[in-house]
Structure 1
Amino acid sequence: MDATVQQNQQEGLPIFKNRNFILLFIGSLFSAPGYYVYLIGAEWLMLSLDDNRFYFGMLFFAASVPRLLLLTVGGIVADRFNKRTILFISDFTRAILIFVLLLFLFMDAVTVWHLIVLAALFGISDAFSYPVINSLTPMILEKEQLQRGNSLIQMTTQISPILGPALGGTLIALLGFKGVFSVAFVMLLIASLTVLFMRLKQADATGEKKTPLEDLKEGFSYARKNELIMSIVFTAFFLNFFFTGPFSIGMPIIVKDIFAGNAISLATVQTAMGIGALIGAIFLASIKLKKQGLTVIISLIVLGVIYTSIGMSSYLYLTAGLVASLAFLLQLVNIPIMTILQKSTEKRMLGRMMSLLMTVSTGLVPISYVITSLLIAVGVSIQTIIIVSGIVVMFIAIYNLKNKKLRTLISS
């Protein structure tokens, strides 16, 4: 009862007087950067352990498969149980996994397979945390606060590629892998403890209880009747195939093999991405987009051009600048779409809709990782892969100018 009263008192408050939002904001400030500190450490450790770049691609594939398979389950769990508890378990589990990796490092027993298994376990954790994060904001903020709230949470997320790689690269250079993973462990532990202080209203227990299978069917039926969700998912389904695999796998390989860089060089590129994304989030927190659908499509077209240019770049700092521009445009795509979906979805369905959106839209991502890895293994340069992928992304975006449902999407 007390939790319900506290939740009701939070509703309608300015964002930074809303206790739940502040705690979510602080938790994100530690969770997302902590993950990126771990990620740059894991990526560079994998590149250092084995020269076979196929294993590096498998690091991403191992994380994406369990995430994809369990996202729908994560959405059902998010709608059935306390979101705060799920978020705590997710961050706390990640901290424990990093602690285990530290033990292997101290025993000097780490292999590429340890990192791949660890990535898979992180993917399982992601499958339960992603639907919670994306469905939690609409529960603690009013509708008119959502674009600003999403942008602020995105700022904490986008500070991560700034602070995370910068801190991670520095720690690798100064303290080695033990130092970088120790900091990641502490940051994720703090994030998990912070969310425990949130007080959320318990889910309404009245009405007929449904089985998980019935919940799943209801979610699919709800999405099928929503033309906007189906339109966005269909586009994202193909875009992610040509973008996620080549970009995620390609940037570290380009830095190390093409630019002959080190961990600091990789941190420079990833930090540039964080800066661009942060600027995009601040931009959207300060204005209200009117023609959101047209903004999304135009941003995607320009994104495709810049993506292609990254594959042609021969200089580290030019590449960093292009990556920053690309990240800015990604915010002009992701935040408006997420805000509209949150506004138009019933709160009881938020977990399932967010997980369904991510499940279907990222369905080809594991295949993207595998194909990118195989192309690299048979001798196709990563720059060629990125150039071709960028051209395809640009044409997919141009084709969507015909999509009236998306093109005419406006702020409400």
Structure 2
Amino acid sequence: MNTLQNKMWNKNFNLVIIGQIISLFGSAMLRFALSLYVMDLTGREDIFAGLFAISNIPILLSPLGGAIADRFNRRNLMVIFDFSSSFVVLVFILLLSQNSHSILLIGVVMVLLSVISAMYTPTVTASIPQLVGESSLAGANGIVQAVQALSYVVAPVCAGILYGMMSVQALIAVSGAAFFLSAVMEIFIKIPFTKRQSEGSMLKTIGRDMKEGFVFVSKQPFILKSMLIAALINFILTPLFVVGGPIILRMTMKSTDSVYGVGMGIIQFANILGALLIGVLASKIIMKKVYIWILAIAVILIPLALSVTPMMLEFGFYPSFILFLISAVPIAIIMTILSIYVITKVQKKTPNENLGKVMAIVMAVAQCVAPVGQVIYGFLFRAFHAQVYIPLLFVSVVMFAVALLSQRILRNEIA
């Protein structure tokens, strides 16, 4: 690796990050605009929720995207995927201009864009280790994660403002332009690529590559342990904020719209802060000591539960709200730090020719468990709607168990 690549902020990494900012911003704006558009057309939030759930199914294609990322030039793939997204958006705008406003059309567009995203994400993740030095890898992953989290905060705000100022077609066109601009910028990225020999048809080659990825993961105890830890954290904690946060703030604490937005925004910024801190903290974290961080989450969940007890709620809204945020912010920070740290360790232990496949498998497993957790939390919070602190205390106990499990399975890891 040359001197330029040893520095995190080199030209190629900068272009990847700028491309990510533009592409993710366009994607987040489009998703938000479509949510408003569907609700305006139907007056029903549940229809969009169903479309959203269906559009998440293509995440299962991530291993295929990883195999493709290991077989072809990753720079070219990023360019193709962003151009493809802009083309889908262009066709969508043309159909809208012909008064084709069906929910089915919107669903098809969302699924197509999700399929492209399932291919795009492992390509970017596999490219990062080729663009920065090993010592800067954790920080680089943190920047990528921070950009993603920031797009989820800023893009909906911009889309909400623009939605009231222009037609939905114009707003969708802005998103399409963002994909196109990102693709153009990515053309100037240089990512090392060595063409690999293929036997038989490309379809059979990709199939063998996917099998090779699963076999490689199954024979790597460290990767299996890391995948288990990442999946447990995503299964238990991510849905807590996605489902539990809105329920606690809106239904239990009965916050106003503006205060609710502030609360959820602060938690999102905590994720960004965690992503930025990983560059400083990565060298201080040891894999076999990860359980201490998980133990800290288990402990912090106790005051989080306390914030929604009847006794605390009797003191009024703001004491409960402040205690909730004081507890939720460090949990969100630690979650993000651990997630990026585990991903970075797996990247360092995976050969470049398997990097896309392995990262796609790890991320697919970790992300696929989150919807299951969301369903479970939905049932728990509904069953204990008058005693929301009970599910939170239960989660604290579960995280104590996860900490003990992590201590046991990672005790022999020396780094």
TM-score between both structures, scaled by the size of structure 1: 0.79
Secondary structure of 1:328's counterpart equals helix
Cα distance change on mapping 1:235 and 1:337 into 2, 3 Å:
closer
Q: C-alpha displacement at 1:307, in angstroms? A: 7.5
Other-structure match for 2:7: 14
Cα distance change on mapping 1:351 and 1:97 into 2, 3 Å:
same
- The 5 Å alignment of 1:331-342 reads 331-342=336-347
Matched, 1:272 2:266: yes
Report the AA paired with residue 225 of structure 1.
K
Cα distance change on mapping 1:203 and 1:146 into 2, 3 Å:
same
Q: C-alpha displacement at 1:250, in angstroms? A: 7.0
Query: Does the aligned pair in 1 maintain the 2:8–2:132 contact within 8 Å?
Result: yes
Other-structure match for 2:119: 128
Pick one of 196, 215, 227 that aligns with 1:233. Answer: 227
Report the AA paired with residue 15 of structure 1.
M
Q: C-alpha displacement at 1:329, in angstroms? A: 3.0
Pick one of 130, 133, 136 that aligns with 1:139. Answer: 130
Q: 5+ residue gaps in structure 2?
A: none
Distance in 2, Cα, partners of 1:385 & 1:50: 34
Distance in 2, Cα, partners of 1:305 & 1:59: 36
How large is the RMSD of aligned CA atoms in angstroms? 3.9
Pick one of 185, 191, 195 that aligns with 2:186. Answer: 195
Secondary structure of 2:194's counterpart equals coil
Report the AA paired with residue 32 of structure 2.
I
Q: 5+ residue gaps in structure 1?
A: 1-7
Other-structure match for 2:46: 54
Deviations 1:93-117 (Å, cap 9, x if unpaired)?
2233333444455455434333332
Other-structure match for 1:394: 396
Deviations 1:350-370 (Å, cap 9, x if unpaired)?
111101112222333455567
Matched, 1:167 2:158: yes
Distance in 1, Cα, partners of 2:159 & 2:267: 15
Query: Does the aligned pair in 1 maintain the 2:230–2:342 contact within 8 Å?
Result: no
Deviations 1:215-268 (Å, cap 9, x if unpaired)?
233222221222222123234445444555675467678889996977x88865
TM-score between both structures, scaled by the size of structure 2: 0.79
Cα distance change on mapping 1:310 and 1:170 into 2, 3 Å:
farther
Report the AA paired with residue 294 of structure 2.
I
Cα distance change on mapping 1:189 and 1:48 into 2, 3 Å:
same
Other-structure match for 1:99: 90
Cα distance change on mapping 1:303 and 1:177 into 2, 3 Å:
farther
Q: C-alpha displacement at 1:276, in angstroms? A: 1.7
Other-structure match for 2:334: 329
Other-structure match for 2:366: 361
Cα distance change on mapping 1:119 and 1:365 into 2, 3 Å:
farther
Other-structure match for 2:207: 213
Distance in 1, Cα, partners of 2:391 & 2:180: 38
Other-structure match for 2:21: 29
Distance in 2, Cα, partners of 1:174 & 1:392: 46
Query: Does the aligned pair in 1 maintain the 2:146–2:275 contact within 8 Å?
Result: yes
- The 5 Å alignment of 1:77-92 reads 77-92=68-83
**How many residues are paired up?**
399
Distance in 2, Cα, partners of 1:382 & 1:175: 43
Report the AA paired with residue 180 of structure 2.
L
Query: Does the aligned pair in 2 maintain the 1:310–1:323 contact within 8 Å?
Result: no
Report the AA paired with residue 278 of structure 2.
L
Q: C-alpha displacement at 1:381, in angstroms? A: 8.3
Distance in 2, Cα, partners of 1:59 & 1:276: 29
Pick one of 141, 148, 168 that aligns with 1:177. Answer: 168
Secondary structure of 1:15's counterpart equals coil
Deviations 1:183-233 (Å, cap 9, x if unpaired)?
322222211211111122222436988833332332222212222221232
Matched, 1:301 2:298: yes
Query: Does the aligned pair in 1 maintain the 2:384–2:390 contact within 8 Å?
Result: no
Q: C-alpha displacement at 1:79, in angstroms? A: 0.6
Distance in 2, Cα, partners of 1:310 & 1:102: 47
Cα distance change on mapping 1:398 and 1:255 into 2, 3 Å:
closer
Q: C-alpha displacement at 1:338, in angstroms? A: 1.1
Secondary structure of 1:205's counterpart equals coil
Query: Does the aligned pair in 2 maintain the 1:58–1:116 contact within 8 Å?
Result: no
Q: C-alpha displacement at 1:275, in angstroms? A: 1.9
Distance in 1, Cα, partners of 2:102 & 2:303: 36
Distance in 2, Cα, partners of 1:385 & 1:364: 26
Q: C-alpha displacement at 1:78, in angstroms? A: 0.8
Q: Percent identity, please.
A: 21
Cα distance change on mapping 1:44 and 1:212 into 2, 3 Å:
same
Cα distance change on mapping 1:304 and 1:50 into 2, 3 Å:
farther
